[in-house]
Structure 1
Amino acid sequence: MAGVTTTYNAGLRYGGPASMTLGWLVVAFFNGCVALSMAEICSAYPTSGGLYYWSAKLAGNDWAPLASWVTGWFNIVGQWAATTSTDFSLAQLIQVMVLLGTGGANGGGYTASKYVVLAIHGFVLVLHGLINSLPIRCLSWFGHLGAFWNTAGALVLVVLIPSVATERASPEFIFTHFNADNGMGVHGNAYILALGLLTSQYSLLGYDASAHMIEETKKADWSGPMGIVSSVALSTAFGWIFMVALTSIVTDDIQYLLDTSNDAGGYAVAQALHNAFRRRYGSGAGGIACVGVVAVGIFLAGVACIASNSRMGYAFSRDGAMPMSRVWHRVTKHEVPLNVVWLSVVIAFAMALTSLGSQVAFQAMVSIATLGQYIAYALPIFFRVTTARKSFVPGPFHLGRYGVFVGWAAVLWVALLTVLFSLPVAYPVAQDNFNYTPVAVGGVLLLSVGAWVLHARFWFRGPIANVDL
């Protein structure tokens, strides 16, 4: 629910229903290849270091420290950006709910300033920090609640939304209508479709969380991989059904739903839901309640983001890779890495400060969340299918002779994503619409490699092993 709702505007703009409903299936196939390859490696190396540990084990002795260093920094920066984008998206959604609940933009409703939205973002981050400061048994409860809520909530909305609507879009519209009128000066159906695919990619992200929590998991070499695979499979299935249900009530003009002068301030999903309930019952309150169900799902997703951040930061600092590592890898008597939990909160808030200066600059932070993490996903897979092709010893979960084929499909898909995420999203290109994604991601690469050349190569030797795997 979280990914589909918060990126629905971009999907409508670039390609519309066809790029979302059919494009989702294309993205799901290649995401499945990435997840299966990661699960196979996770089964062989079940540690909370996850991706950067895998790179060290698979890149070979000569390249292990550098491979581990670069993978780790892409992963942790991507995770910080994911927390930022998740909680900031929730803050924006809360603002839209308040706007609609007080009369809408055209009825004198309250429109929160960017400072108020930032304050809501900070408040949500603090709540997530407090939850992640609890013992692992309590955090596990929130994990179960998140899984239940996103599954049950999606099912309820999938049944409720089409049944409430007095008018529903035709199957032809849902699966074949292509919106080329994006209002951003982007032409060429293939180009528009490529940008539309990125919406689905945003929604299927973060499944490395199972790897980072794996040292706190029973039967880690099996349950960790199954966590990765099942999360992608379930998110793919429920996400697609949820997207189809939402698109079934898109009976208004697409440009109207995206127009910032509508009651929801241009938030297409909220406007469509509000309209559907208002036409049926004369009030849009039910639509606001549906948005509230999504908001709770996003909140629980944010809990998981901080949990994953903190375990990755704990493992990375345990191996001395972060400044002030001795501070960040300390744990409480309940085995909670408390310091790095709050480090994740502070960094996620600091990243959101870019929203005060430029929304475009903030979108670059969101792009790091997706592209940065997928690069980190692809690096150990690349080493698995190249340098470690013959020497790789699989765990209980393995792909057999298909492992190399699936791995190459995953690597090539991420390479394509890197190009797509770097394309201009508006023409003519100017300072206020420039796609800063290649600059942001390139900055992470430049800083990590630069730090390696100037400093880390003299002392960093990769993950510190205290058990044999």
Structure 2
Amino acid sequence: MSASSDLPTPIADSDAEQLRKLGYSSNFNRTMSLWENFALGFTYLSPVVGVYTLFSLCLAAGGPPMFWAYLLVGCGQLLVCLIFGEVVSQFPISGGVYPWARRLVGARWAWMVGWIHSIALCVTIAAVAVGAGPYLAAMMGFEPSNNTNIIIALVLTLFATVINLSGTKVLARIAMFGFLCELVGAMVVGLYLLVCERHQPISVVFNTFDIRVDGSYLPAFLTASLAGMFLYYGFEACGEVAEEIPNPGKKIPVAMRMTIYIGGIAAMFACLALILAVPDMHAVINGIDKDPVKTILNHAFGSMGSKVVMGVVMISFTSCVISLQAAVSRLLHSYARDEMIIGSTMLRKISTRTQVPVAALFVSGVVPAFIILLGYFLQDAVATIVSFAAIGIYLAFQMIVIAALYARARGWKPSGNFTLGAFGLPVNIGALAYGAGAIINMSWPRNPGAAWYVNYAMILSSAVVISIGLLYMLIAKPFARCNKPAGDAWKISQ
């Protein structure tokens, strides 16, 4: 395994030996620091992208108490993050959820986890890239349209691919730059809004403005809580690059928790600042002001100032796409290294010059680009496909939570640098309960007047992806091609 000359030889040798004991060798470059690893997860989570994208929809749906969704969802996802930390600490293998599932349960379960997660990540890349269009239009001063959004998304995806092909060092530096820009930008904009543009009292976060759905506020709040559910899932990206950071078993769990803590606080701060800066809350809730973010920024910063803010938002979108693409490429490489996917010979190759999986990065650019292009011809179909983005990630996460619970039932005792000890089982159960509730909430039909395939888009897209994966698995039997360790986590604990 090649190691950077910056690394002390004992650490490099220890990492190589640990990986060898897990059944692998690696040509990745272990140059990513703890903070760079955290920055990768932070920009993948991207509080600015998450808050700004869904703020208008969720504020109109649930009113200012939507703010509390970020706290509640953050606590739920922290439970999942803690379980992931235990797993990656013992199995710091590139690719994240796929190798973890392989060791906890077995090859078949791992193949389905990898399949669902890779599709979800590719769809997420497409969704985030397309979502950047209106913000670039606002920054450049032209009206967005479906066609311009597609062009912008394709250019952004190409740019992300070029950056990722440049190597781990460039990826780490871009992630760090994106993190600093996003965090500083969110704090500066938020502080200015709180100090100079407050139009609402702090008590407004408890004011439902008499929003009711079938006589109850709860359904409205559950709809508004989607703001948080579409945000807190960048922490697993820290583990996707486990072979690119020294001492991963110790550092990655820390980076994962930092992603939740710092990303969550930044998102809550940005959301609170926007809520308190809304000039007319009734206009938002009644649908008169359909874009309160634009209203707030134009009112606070003027035309030119709001364009500067949009520039910061665009940096957030760009770094988010880059981080997402890095994550899916490592997953595909890990998949291919175990011969679990078509084209494994090419996809598992690591460039001797840049030490990144070139073919896997190419696929992680082409597939999202194809989805983006479909939007030019089939907007409704693409909307259904994109609906799989968040729920697919949640499904893959919960398959790891279930896998950890299954392994515990068989006698697995986490033995990495980070463990929950006696709290492991209750946290595991709590993570499963949260995840199941979140998936039900995300997929619940909420628009009786819409076509059935719109109301059930998440369920439909999930059924299609899972069915195709099962069919391929049954016919091609990819799980039978590799004799690498599988389903042995509990044996290691004996």
TM (norm. structure 2) is 0.83
Residue 436 and residue 39 in structure 1: after superposition, are their counterparts in 2 closer, same or farther (change >3 A)? same
1:403 corresponds to 2:424: yes
- The one-letter code of the counterpart of 1:32 is L
Match of 2:207 in 1: 176
**Is contact 1:162-1:168 (8 Å) kept?**
no
Residue 448 and residue 168 in structure 1: after superposition, are their counterparts in 2 closer, same or farther (change >3 A)? same
1:55 corresponds to 2:97: no
1:420 corresponds to 2:441: yes
Aligned pair partner of 2:296 in 272, 275, 294:
272
1:147 corresponds to 2:179: yes
Residue 193 and residue 396 in structure 1: after superposition, are their counterparts in 2 closer, same or farther (change >3 A)? same
Say which is worse superposed, 247-256 or 342-351, in terms of deviation. 247-256
Match of 2:317 in 1: 298
Aligned pair partner of 2:339 in 317, 320, 323:
320
**Is contact 2:448-2:455 (8 Å) kept?**
no
- The one-letter code of the counterpart of 1:140 is A
Match of 2:82 in 1: 36
Residue 328 and residue 230 in structure 1: after superposition, are their counterparts in 2 closer, same or farther (change >3 A)? same
1:129 corresponds to 2:161: yes
Match of 1:339 in 2: 359
- The one-letter code of the counterpart of 1:5 is Y
Aligned pair partner of 1:380 in 379, 400, 405:
400
What is the CA distance between 1:218 and its match in structure 2? 0.6
What is the CA distance between 1:142 and its match in structure 2? 0.9
Residue 433 and residue 268 in structure 1: after superposition, are their counterparts in 2 closer, same or farther (change >3 A)? farther
Say which is worse superposed, 362-371 or 155-164, in terms of deviation. 362-371
Alignment of 1:390-469 (within 5 A): 390-430=411-451, 433-456=454-477, 459-461=480-482
What is the CA distance between 1:360 and its match in structure 2? 4.9
Aligned pair partner of 1:138 in 157, 165, 170:
170
Once residues 285 and 433 of structure 1 are traced to their aligned partners in structure 2, the CA distance between those partners, rounded to angstroms, is: 38
Unaligned runs of at least 5 residues, structure 2: 1-47
**Is contact 1:210-1:227 (8 Å) kept?**
yes
Aligned pair partner of 1:367 in 355, 380, 387:
387
Say which is worse superposed, 430-439 or 88-97, in terms of deviation. 430-439
**Is contact 1:65-1:462 (8 Å) kept?**
no
**Is contact 1:384-1:392 (8 Å) kept?**
no
C-alpha offsets along residues 190-235 of structure 1, whole Å, 9 cap, x if unaligned? 2221111111111212221111111011111011111211111111
What is the CA distance between 1:355 and its match in structure 2? 3.0
Match of 1:70 in 2: 112
Say which is worse superposed, 155-164 or 211-220, in terms of deviation. 155-164
**Is contact 1:85-1:365 (8 Å) kept?**
no
C-alpha offsets along residues 71-130 of structure 1, whole Å, 9 cap, x if unaligned? 1111111111221122111123212334xx3xxxxxxxx423311210110001111011
- The one-letter code of the counterpart of 1:406 is V
Match of 2:10 in 1: none
Once residues 413 and 462 of structure 1 are traced to their aligned partners in structure 2, the CA distance between those partners, rounded to angstroms, is: 35
Match of 1:236 in 2: 264
| Other structure's SS at 2:165 match | coil
Once residues 250 and 315 of structure 1 are traced to their aligned partners in structure 2, the CA distance between those partners, rounded to angstroms, is: 46
**Is contact 1:58-1:392 (8 Å) kept?**
no
1:97 corresponds to 2:139: yes
What is the CA distance between 1:370 and its match in structure 2? 1.4
Match of 1:351 in 2: 371
| Other structure's SS at 2:418 match | coil
Residues paired across the two proteins, number: 439
| Other structure's SS at 1:203 match | coil
| Other structure's SS at 2:98 match | helix
- The one-letter code of the counterpart of 1:382 is I
Match of 1:5 in 2: 52
What is the CA distance between 1:351 and its match in structure 2? 1.6
Once residues 443 and 33 of structure 1 are traced to their aligned partners in structure 2, the CA distance between those partners, rounded to angstroms, is: 29
Match of 2:16 in 1: none
- The one-letter code of the counterpart of 1:4 is V
**Is contact 1:21-1:175 (8 Å) kept?**
no
Residue 359 and residue 268 in structure 1: after superposition, are their counterparts in 2 closer, same or farther (change >3 A)? farther
**Is contact 2:341-2:478 (8 Å) kept?**
no
1:190 corresponds to 2:237: no
What is the CA distance between 1:268 and its match in structure 2? 2.9
Residue 187 and residue 75 in structure 1: after superposition, are their counterparts in 2 closer, same or farther (change >3 A)? farther
| Other structure's SS at 1:180 match | coil
- The one-letter code of the counterpart of 1:300 is S
1:45 corresponds to 2:91: yes
Aligned pair partner of 1:14 in 61, 72, 76:
61
What is the CA distance between 1:288 and its match in structure 2? 2.5
**Is contact 1:81-1:351 (8 Å) kept?**
yes
1:116 corresponds to 2:148: yes
What is the CA distance between 1:359 and its match in structure 2? 4.8
C-alpha offsets along residues 344-394 of structure 1, whole Å, 9 cap, x if unaligned? 111111122343355554343333221111211121221222333422332
**Is contact 1:46-1:211 (8 Å) kept?**
yes
Once residues 484 and 124 of structure 2 are traced to their aligned partners in structure 1, the CA distance between those partners, rounded to angstroms, is: 24
Residue 160 and residue 410 in structure 1: after superposition, are their counterparts in 2 closer, same or farther (change >3 A)? same
Match of 2:23 in 1: none
| Other structure's SS at 2:408 match | coil
| Other structure's SS at 1:386 match | helix
**Is contact 1:186-1:192 (8 Å) kept?**
no
**Is contact 1:128-1:303 (8 Å) kept?**
yes
Once residues 187 and 462 of structure 1 are traced to their aligned partners in structure 2, the CA distance between those partners, rounded to angstroms, is: 58
1:215 corresponds to 2:243: yes
**Is contact 1:51-1:71 (8 Å) kept?**
yes
Match of 1:226 in 2: 254
| Other structure's SS at 2:433 match | helix
Residue 413 and residue 304 in structure 1: after superposition, are their counterparts in 2 closer, same or farther (change >3 A)? same
Once residues 272 and 254 of structure 1 are traced to their aligned partners in structure 2, the CA distance between those partners, rounded to angstroms, is: 14
